[in-house]
Amino acid sequence: MTSTTEHLSGPLSATTLLRFATAGSVDDGKSTLVGRLLHDSKSVLADQLEAVEHASRSRGQQAPDLALLTDGLRAEREQGITIDVAYRYFATPRRRFILADTPGHVQYTRNMVTGASTAELAVVLVDARNGVVEQTRRHAAVAALLRVPHVVLAVNKMDLVDYAEPVFAAIAEEFTAYASALGVPEITAIPISALAGDNVVEPSAHMDWYGGPTVLEHLETVPVSHDLAACPARFPVQYVIRPQTAEHPDYRGYAGQIASGVLRVGEPVTVLPSGRTSTIAGIDALGRSVDVAWAPQSVTLRLADDLDVSRGDLIAPAAAAPATTQDVEATVCHVADEPLTVGRRVLLKHTTRTVKAIVKEIPSRLTLDDLSQHPEPGQLVANDIGRVRVRTAEPLALDAYADSRRTGSFLLIDPADGTTLAAGMAGEAFAATTTAPAADDEGWDF
């Protein structure tokens, strides 16, 4: 959505970007919440509102249906449901936001995985009348699996429970216990009414007992994680720049986006998978020569030695280079309609490297509702989450997803038609801080 005057009151160049995702089941009021955030932050412009009012009237509705702001496809408006993830943009003087608006409908898992994969915060919506339900646990589990650093529990429809504190407190406590056990590092619970506008953008006049932030205030102030810079540096080589011109006869630069950490001129580095070493002779940051660069900057590195480096290689500090492996153990979310079976030949795309691979084993399938695991399921179908063991044709410099969302994630791709089959996360499934509360007697071998 295009923006309003309010941006100009803040320091424009200094504003940061927060990517967040929403999750909620069908009747929890997610569209209303999103519509309310856009509307009350004045991110909906006159012609958009007019279009919504016009469409609502022609459908015989009395009030403008804010869900029409977000349901962009013909089929979505016809059926009144959200089919696919949509991305929304809005801003306040403090921050700019990219919202992945994920549908709560049948195909929930792959859609939420899509939205959560780039999110730094997830808003999980529950209906105050129903409390924590299976779907809520599923959303918490996906947020934990995808290692979304911040989770907001929005307890909606507080107006329908007389704005009663004990109702909110009980739901918040149950959810926080569950999500913390899964390893979600930070949980914030907020009582709201999306329909009436309580605690979404404006503080509620009905809930004096609540002293915390509104949803928008929290979104504006939650720290955007720069812990990427604290991790060991990872630089997947995307493209080799060799002008071979009179002006630059010997220039040979390795272009890429720093996936994590900080790189400095003079630093000794290792190129994987070959294991050859050199030092960083120069860093070109899109036209400027710099001494230091960090994630997620797109830069070009020059090395002191003339090594054979190409797309798919990984440059890392010699002192903190990852191990390489051809045996990948990971949790995958299966996103294709066709099942994933043992023995299946696939392509594995990890950072800028795509290699042949074979699915060796599917040791277990996870039931998100109660976090129980089903051993040796034989296959994974659409929206299943399971453990896999994959053998690759070439070594990969793979980190654990827990250490780096960027270098610990991969795709499995159908070599025949290019379909994306599964989203993979290397290493342990959940942050193993404590035992998950709902695990069955067999416990975890994840």
Partner 1 sequence: MTPATAGGGADSPYALSHLDALESEAVHIFREVAGEFERPVLLFSGGKDSIVMLHLALKAFAPAPVPFALLHVDTGHNFPEVLAYRDRTVARHRLRLHVASVQEYIDAGKLRERPDGTRNPLQTVPLTEAIQQHRFDAVFGGGRRDEEKARAKERVFSLRDEFSQWDPRRQRPELWQLYNGRHAPGEHVRVFPLSNWTELDVWQYIERERIELPEIYFAHEREVFRRNGMWLTAGDWGGPKEGETVEKRLVRYRTVGDMSCTGAVDSDATTLQAVIAEIAASRLTERGATRADDKLSEAAMEDRKREGYF
Interaction residues for partner 1, span 301-360 (CB under 8 A)? 311, 335, 347, 349, 351-352
Rounded alpha-carbon distances, angstroms, from residue 275 to 175, 258, 319, 391: 46, 19, 12, 21
Q: Residue 440 Cβ, how far from partner 1 at the closest point, in Å?
A: 26
Task: Report if residue 441 touches partner 1, rule: CB under 8 A.
Answer: no
Among the listed residues 32, 409, 426, 429, the single contact to partner 1 using CB under 8 A: 409
Interacting span for partner 1 (CB under 8 A) from 20-28, 201-209, 391-399, 403-411: 403-411
Q: Residue 206 Cβ, how far from partner 1 at the closest point, in Å?
A: 31
Among the listed residues 168, 178, 410, 430, the single contact to partner 1 using CB under 8 A: 410
Task: Decide if 273 contacts 245 (C-beta within 8 A).
Answer: no
Among the listed residues 250, 306, 308, 417, the single contact to partner 1 using CB under 8 A: 417
Q: Residue 142 Cβ, how far from partner 1 at the closest point, in Å?
A: 13
417 vs 441 by CB, closer to partner 1? 417
292 vs 323 by CB, closer to partner 1? 292
Contacts of partner 1 in 139-168 (CB under 8 A): 147, 149-150
Interacting span for partner 1 (CB under 8 A) from 44-52, 155-163, 209-217, 263-271: 44-52
Among the listed residues 27, 80, 89, 440, the single contact to partner 1 using CB under 8 A: 89
167 vs 190 by CB, closer to partner 1? 190
Q: Residue 209 Cβ, how far from partner 1 at the closest point, in Å?
A: 26
31 vs 204 by CB, closer to partner 1? 31
Task: Report if residue 73 touches partner 1, rule: CB under 8 A.
Answer: yes
15 vs 367 by CB, closer to partner 1? 15
Q: Residue 11 Cβ, how far from partner 1 at the closest point, in Å?
A: 9
12 vs 440 by CB, closer to partner 1? 12
Phi/psi at 242 (5° precision)? -135, 95
132 vs 231 by CB, closer to partner 1? 231
Task: Report if residue 433 touches partner 1, rule: CB under 8 A.
Answer: no
* Neighbour-count burial for 395-405, b at 16+ CB within 10 Å, e otherwise: bbbbbebbbbb
Task: Report if residue 242 touches partner 1, rule: CB under 8 A.
Answer: yes
Task: Report if residue 206 touches partner 1, rule: CB under 8 A.
Answer: no
250 vs 441 by CB, closer to partner 1? 250
88 vs 387 by CB, closer to partner 1? 88
Contacts of partner 1 in 250-309 (CB under 8 A): 251, 255-257, 262, 284, 286-287, 294-298
62 vs 244 by CB, closer to partner 1? 244
User: How far is 426 from 10, CA to CA, in rounded Å?
Assistant: 40
Q: Which residues contact 6 (CB under 8 A, 6 or more apart)?
A: 42, 91, 92, 93
Contacts of partner 1 in 176-205 (CB under 8 A): 183, 185-186
Binding characters for partner 1, 3-32, by CB under 8 A (x = yes): xxx-xx---xxxxxx---------------
Rounded alpha-carbon distances, angstroms, from residue 416 to 169, 221, 344: 52, 46, 12
Binding characters for partner 1, 102-141, by CB under 8 A (x = yes): --------xx-xx--xx-x---------------------
161 vs 271 by CB, closer to partner 1? 271
Q: Is 442 exposed, middle or buried (0-12, 13-18, 19+ CB in 10 A)?
A: exposed
Largest pairwise CA distance in the chain: 76
Contacts of partner 1 in 364-393 (CB under 8 A): none
